[in-house]
Structure 1
Amino acid sequence: MTDATDADLPRGIGRPATGALTLAGYTRLEQLDGVPAKDLLALHGVGPKAIRVLTEELAERGMALG
């Protein structure tokens, strides 16, 4: 399993969100392309701020949440 500190996720989402996403198997930003925001919000530690940051970071790379 990948440690949250090794995850390729934006730092701006915060440590709780990074840990929650990593535990759910998301270690790279690209893996979130097409994933519904409501699924991510269901993870303990992922809140509206994390969704906003992820949405912005994905958009910069031509990707989006589902």
Structure 2
Amino acid sequence: MTTKNDFKGILASPGQRALAAIGIENFEQLSEFTEAEVMELHGIGKNGMNRLHIALAEKGLSFALKK
């Protein structure tokens, strides 16, 4: 079964797998998490976070402030 991956071309495979492992498949789901939560994932580094910030902003979204 193949699922849509909004992060292809934005994140390297380890980052894509890290997000998929916690059920994040699109930017709307990603915006429900704080930056700190995402940075804790193995496979997400500073470069990946910068790319995610840009991609979220282009879609009018951002990381959650707090949970």
TM category (shorter chain) comes to 0.7 to 0.9
Tell me the equivalent position of 1:14. 12
- The number of residues matched between the two structures is 64
Runs (4+) of structure 1 exceeding 3 A deviation are none
The alignment's TM-score, normalised by the length of structure 1, stands at 0.82
How far apart in 2 are the matches of 1:37 and 1:14?
18
The structure where helix makes up a greater share of residues is: 1
The alignment's C-alpha RMSD in Å is 1.8
The answer for unaligned runs of 5 or more in structure 2 is: none
Q: Could you state the TM-score of these two structures normalised by the residue count of structure 2?
A: 0.81
The letter for the 1-side match of 2:24 is Y
* Sequence identity percentage: 30
Q: Which has the larger radius of gyration?
A: 2
Unaligned ranges ≥5, structure 1: none
- 1:7-27 CA deviation, whole Å, 9 max, x = no partner? 222422111100100011101
Q: Match of 1:13, SS?
A: coil
Matches of 2:2 and 2:39, distance apart in 1:
21
Could you say if the C-alpha distance between residues 18 and 53 of structure 1 is closer, same or farther in structure 2, counting changes exceeding 3 Å?
A: same
